[in-house]
Amino acid sequence: MATKNKYPLPAFYFSVSWGDNMNVNFSEVSGLNVETQVIEYRDGASKEYATMKMPGMQKYGNLTLKRGSLADDNGFFDWWNKVALNTIERRDVTVSLLNEEHKAVITWNVKNAFPVKVDGGSLKSTGNEVLIETLELAHEGITIKRGDK
């Protein structure tokens, strides 16, 4: 019986979408992480000379999106400029790692994201690079779906 080779997934073919923009092109996505905070507790009558550790609340890192700057696209700054006086336009963001057939292998669904930082890039007179702009998003959670599960 032949077994199928298992290789780690390449991370270079992915798509990002939010709201009405079904595919926003980015060169890099980072911050797809979650951690469970630890609660330490010890009552005064405990015979153990150490704290007990319990799982606490989940904490999500900010999502960072990078792309080449386009002359006629001000979408990052337009979204960021809407954050004023406690009025925030929140968007659900979907990041999908794709296979050769353009189908999602892993999908991260980011809930209620809003921009907290926009970086227009760095300029260098002797450089030969593309101008990269960065959007950093705070959010309220990530769910991960692998394959057809």
pLDDT digits (tens, 9 = 90+) for 64-84: 999 998 888 877 788 888 877
Q: What is the pLDDT of residue 88?
A: 85
- From first CA to last CA, the distance across the chain in angstroms is 26
Question: Any idea what the Cα angle at residue 97 is, between residues 95 and 101, rounded to 5°?
Answer: 130
What's the chain's average pLDDT?
88
Instruction: Give phi and psi for 77, each to the nearest 5.
Output: -70, -35
Pull the structure tokens for residue 127. Answer: 């450089």
Q: Which residues pair with 134 in a beta bridge?
A: 66, 119
Q: What is the pLDDT of residue 4?
A: 64
Q: What is the pTM for the complete model shown?
A: 0.83
Query: Residue 35 pLDDT more than 80?
Result: yes
Pull the structure tokens for residue 22. Answer: 């079904």
